Amino acid sequence: MAVTTPPYASDALAEGTVDAVVIGGGAAGLNGALILARSRRSVVVIDSGSPRNAPAEAVHGLIALDGTPPSEILRRGREQVRQYGGRVVFGEAVSAESAAPSADGDLRFTVTLADGRRITARRILVATGLTDVLPQVPGLAEHWGHSVVHCPYCHGWEVRDEPIGIPATGAASIGHALLFRQLTEDLTYFTHGTDLDEDSRARFAARGIRVIDTPVTEVVNDEDGALAGVRLADGQVVARRVVAVAAPMQARTQGLEGLGLPVRDLPTGRGFASGTAGTTEVPGVWVAGNATDLVAQVGASAAAGALAGADINRMLAIADTDAALQGIAGGSPQGATG
């Protein structure tokens, strides 16, 4: 499942202290950086080059860009951030932590990359995205993003009218099945060791959803390598062309432990806790996109990045004004007047 974006030229890491470091080069991170760069803030995006949607052929449900490959959206995003003076650095952040404040008391953070390079920033936007935790079913991961899908809004139209199978991962799979039933009349629900109450079974029967309680043991391919079905524990193969999985989602938190960001458990997985415009309990640190909103599509993630970027700029403007007042007071024996 580890898929990376095509290689691209990396900017040099900025020297000195920058206004903001954005950790994550996806839709949320790039749009946050765009807002900051257009506000004449010095901003550096640290991009590991492994976006969640890299296996997908196209982004869907995004007005004006529906059907655009994810890599193309990111390429345009990097270009636009650079157009306003922002930098995009290809690298992996392995640590991020608070540093000693500036002489005027403003916040400082240090971000260290895997190759040992470091950068100091006044504020941080975390936009690391998430990881989908797929069931341990042999053959499932190799079709991820193509014949194995998770989102009816991202991929549903493309798999309409196909024979779809849903191996349950928990209670969330019940609602998942009802959404995919809107897209096909040939839907099979595999309980796969999870509980399915009688009311849900009745509702499935009313919608013509077949239920199989025998566990799934592997995904079966045809002679061309395409997904052809799933094999059950009793040896039976149930023909399917598409598998839809409500996979638990986990925010990418590696390397960010030093920030002390709180996390929260959600029905769909685990992500960073955040407030309005991506604020966190840690002063000077914001989060945006799938790292905090696990079900956000590309458009929602980009919008969240924009809100966070604007809020970071607002707080920096306040800090700049506070520093200017201190400078006036410090330079006048009578202190600041007026």
pLDDT the model gives residue 5: 59
CATH 3.50.50.60 in the chain: give the residue spans: 17-131+248-324, 134-244
Cβ atoms of 272 and 251 closer than 8 Å:
yes
Q: Residue 161: left (phi > 0), alpha (psi -120 to 50), or beta?
A: left
Q: Is the pLDDT of residue 1 over 70?
A: no
When pLDDT is averaged across residues 244-268 and rounded to a whole number, the result is: 96
pLDDT the model gives residue 9: 87
Contact partners, residue 5, CB within 8 Å, separation at least 6: 49, 50, 51, 54, 70, 71, 74
pTM over 0.85: yes
pLDDT the model gives residue 335: 41
When pLDDT is averaged across residues 40-47 and rounded to a whole number, the result is: 98
pLDDT the model gives residue 239: 98
pLDDT the model gives residue 336: 40
| Phi, psi of 7, rounded to the nearest 5 degrees | -60, 150
What token pair was written down for 244? 């839809």
251 vs 35: CA distance, rounded Å: 23
Sole residue written with tokens 């799933």:
230
Q: Is the pLDDT of residue 58 over 90?
A: yes
3: pLDDT confidence band, cut at 50, 70 and 90?
low
Q: Is the pLDDT of residue 338 over 60?
A: no
Residue-averaged pLDDT of the chain: 94
Parallel, antiparallel, or unpaired: how do β-strands 164-167 and 187-190 relate?
parallel
When pLDDT is averaged across residues 38-54 and rounded to a whole number, the result is: 95
End-to-end CA distance of the chain: 61
Listing DSSP states for 180-191 in one string gives HHTT-S-EEEE-
- The string of pLDDT tens digits covering residues 60-89 is 999 999 999 999 999 999 999 999 999 999
134-244 topology per CATH: FAD/NAD(P)-binding domain (3.50.50)
- The string of pLDDT tens digits covering residues 267-291 is 899 999 999 999 999 999 999 999 9
85 vs 248: CA distance, rounded Å: 38
In percent, the amount of the chain with pLDDT more than 90 equals 91
Contact partners, residue 265, CB within 8 Å, separation at least 6: none
User: How far are the Cα atoms of 137, 211, 231, 276, 281 from residue 273, in angstroms, in the given order?
Assistant: 31, 36, 39, 11, 8
- The string of pLDDT tens digits covering residues 299-323 is 999 999 999 999 999 999 999 999 9
185 vs 188: CA distance, rounded Å: 10
329: pLDDT confidence band, cut at 50, 70 and 90?
confident
pLDDT the model gives residue 4: 60
Domain 17-131+248-324 has CATH 3.40.50.410: no
- The string of pLDDT tens digits covering residues 100-111 is 999 999 999 999
Q: Is the pLDDT of residue 333 over 90?
A: no
When pLDDT is averaged across residues 234-255 and rounded to a whole number, the result is: 97
pLDDT the model gives residue 337: 37
Output Rg (C-alpha) for the chain, integer angstroms: 23
| Phi, psi of 181, rounded to the nearest 5 degrees | -65, -25
pLDDT the model gives residue 24: 98
User: How far are the Cα atoms of 22, 64, 81, 214, 297 from residue 68, in angstroms, in the given order?
Assistant: 24, 9, 19, 39, 14
b (16+ CB within 10 A) / e for 61-98: bbeebeeeebbebbeebbebbbebebbbbbbbbebbeb
pLDDT the model gives residue 8: 82
Helices (H), the chain: 27-38, 70-83, 152-155, 172-181, 198-206, 298-331
118 vs 113: CA distance, rounded Å: 6
330: pLDDT confidence band, cut at 50, 70 and 90?
confident
What token pair was written down for 143? 């079709």
Q: Is the pLDDT of residue 332 over 60?
A: no
